[in-house]
Amino acid sequence: MKITWLGHSAFRIETAKSKILIDPFFTGNPGFAGLDAKDAAAGITHILLTHGHGDHVGDAVELARESGATVLANADLAAWLGSKGVAKLEAGNTGGTIRFDDFTATFTNALHSSAQITEDGVSHALGNANGLMLHVEDGPSVLHMGDTDIFSDMALINELHQPDIGIVPIGDRFTMGGAVAALAVQRYFNFATAIPCHYGSFPIIDATPEKFVAGMEGAKTKVETPKPGQTLSF
């Protein structure tokens, strides 16, 4: 498996049979600046969305139209995407699991909001915010937490799914900050690897992962802090 950070909360995950984008926020993402959108989206088969905010839906509509990729989202967000011309949709909701060729995606809880004010100036209620738990055939399992604060039922997510890799928001203000995120990882999960995200993209959130890295000092979990565009192999 290969995981590439594309800035903010956007990731590309490559499995044996699938090429997945999660929260593909390219246009307007300072963390994506200097990267090539065509390379990031090359051969994509699936686009997975944690929630409806613009910095997570990002370029999903355009990418889906261009690639024909299947888009997974919560039911309300999926209905809205369908109204925008996205043809291949898989809708679900918290607790539900959807199976694809070589992985499953389960909607987990997240403490966050999800409405979006779109180009028409209207606020759209786009369902609940979620994390996404991926179980991959012949590969490590991955939990993308989405945008969230710490909550005690993270322990239940770990009990049910035993994720190997955690993608963890750490930027503060709109998600938990680095120190709290480190507490969440150490108290509730047994990740082999943690990858921080949702930082360094806008001035009002933390610019670096330093607080998370410091909070994880001495933990069994390995912390990876790739640069945007860098690929990690597992």
Q: What is the DSSP string of 104-137?
A: EEEEEE--S---EE-TTS-EE-----EEEEEEET
In-domain check, residue 91: yes
Token pair 């609940």: residue: 128
Residues 216, 187: Cα–Cα separation, whole Å: 11
Domain count, the chain: 1
Q: What is the mean pLDDT of each run of 10 residues along the chain (234 residues)?
A: 98 98 97 96 98 97 98 97 96 98 98 88 92 98 98 98 98 98 98 98 97 98 98 98
In-domain check, residue 234: no
Contact 197, 8 (CB under 8 A): yes
- The beta strands (E) that lie in 68-220 are given as 70-74, 89-92, 97-99, 103-109, 116-117, 123-124, 130-136, 142-144, 165-169, 193-197
In-domain check, residue 59: yes
In-domain check, residue 231: no
Report the CATH number that the domain containing residue 165 is assigned in CATH. Answer: 3.60.15.10
What global pTM score does this model have?
A: 0.97
In-domain check, residue 232: no
The length of the chain, given as a count of residues: 234
In-domain check, residue 53: yes
In-domain check, residue 70: yes
Decide: helix, strand or coil at residue 70.
Answer: strand
Predicted local confidence at residue 189, as pLDDT? 98
Q: Which domain holds residue 139?
A: 2-226
Cα dihedral sign, 54-67-43-90:
positive
Predicted local confidence at residue 93, as pLDDT? 98
Predicted local confidence at residue 117, as pLDDT? 83
Radius of gyration of the chain (CA): 16
Tokens encoding 197: 């995200």
In-domain check, residue 233: no
List the 70-74 sheet strands across, edge first. Answer: 89-92, 70-74, 46-48, 19-22, 11-14, 2-5, 231-233
Predicted local confidence at residue 22, as pLDDT? 99
